[in-house]
A and B are shown apart, each in its own frame.
Chain A
């Protein structure tokens, strides 16, 4: 039994993307270390459809290869009842400010409540690879084999079954490569948020902000995406108002909204504000108004009544150097 691998094909007919998918199918299906299944675009899969059902039946480690950031893919699966630990991967989109992030890791993390603290995940890991991370199929095959080796060691706990080991060490296909199961090839396009519960603090900014009934709470009063298909196509506004950057729209063109790894402290200083871009709250309110108008309803925001801060009585943290810098920027503007 090999590592279950799901390749999720993208929506674009770009021949470069199609070729990468095809090469991965050919190489991974020919390798007995993997049990490969092909599914349509992960984000579009219908909730109880054959693809998600098959993925839900896997109760141990698995690898999902899609066109989404690994964080986006992980929480799409979580929203569909496919839970697991985040499997660490070594093939990610290169981050320009990697040095900066390393510095942050040295600092002790603040003790903030996260929804995930009350929601222990099963002990199995789900590994999510993003096909945007490389143009070379070999990079993915190499990473998939590294993960398969890691997982096999975990499964056998240093106690190899000779047959299992032989299968892994001998990448020779015993079945026809053409026999790759394919589930849900023509999923209709969907648009909805997914919540990263390792960041979400259950602050309820999103449920207050969204006027389309996308969000709800469960019996334990924890936020959830209750009616994903109520979401307004193309609108990522709730993601902008989330103080923890916990709301992911995996299909959005802006990496920060689509689930690219960013610091919890927020994004790098963006000088666009200085140069006339509306700030995130204003932009979110404008996007929400556009969607209200599109839905035949009345806009709710106006310039005289800016968004109220839900946690208005929360004590403000002492100003740090960054605040000073931002004040200077404010003065410039």
Chain B
């Protein structure tokens, strides 16, 4: 069994390591000692393309609610607000990305991580998906995503 699952976005193969969990807002999640590290999945990075600017609404060390707006991003293809994937304490932002966000493009599953959240309890992370489930999720949303992009392009 391969370590990586692939989802075809048109001609582009987006890869998802099985060792990670995934949030519905297209962030990967990786369990650390007492907190989870999050970053953009290959799906998100493919839609964003080159990231030019990343900003967070507050400094680390604060409680966040799932879906709370926590920051914003500017890339070659998009501008968007960013939202917390789970509830918990946001313990750390990747400071490296503030001066140079291109790490997101260069190493999305490694050096390009975004932030870490210490979940309230195990229930908080129950919604996170396995790579297989995330792929099912992508099958569902890919058509909508394409429509959204085409709609905005007029």
Contacts and interface: CB of A to CB of B under 8 A. Distances in A.
Contacts of B53: 11-14
B112 to A, nearest CB: 14
Contact of B74 (A14, A186, A234): A14
A233 B57 CA distance: 6
* Interface size grouping (class) on chain B: 10 to 19
Contact of B63 (A12, A186, A233, A293): A293
Interface string B51-74: 011011111001100000000101
Contacts of A233: 56-59
Overall SS of chain A's interface: loop
B140 to A, nearest CB: 28
B2 interface: no
A232 B58 contact: yes
A14 B102 CA distance: 11
B98 interface: yes
Contacts, number: 32
A166 interface: no
A119 interface: no
Contacts of A253: 72
B100 interface: yes
Nearest to B102: A13
Contacts of A14: 52-53, 74
B101 A13 contact: yes
A210 to B, nearest CB: 16
18 contacts: A11-B55, A12-B74, A13-B52, A13-B53, A13-B100, A13-B101, A14-B53, A15-B52, A233-B56, A233-B58, A233-B59, A234-B56, A234-B57, A234-B58, A293-B63, A294-B58, A294-B62, A294-B63
A236 B138 CA distance: 36
Nearest to A11: B53
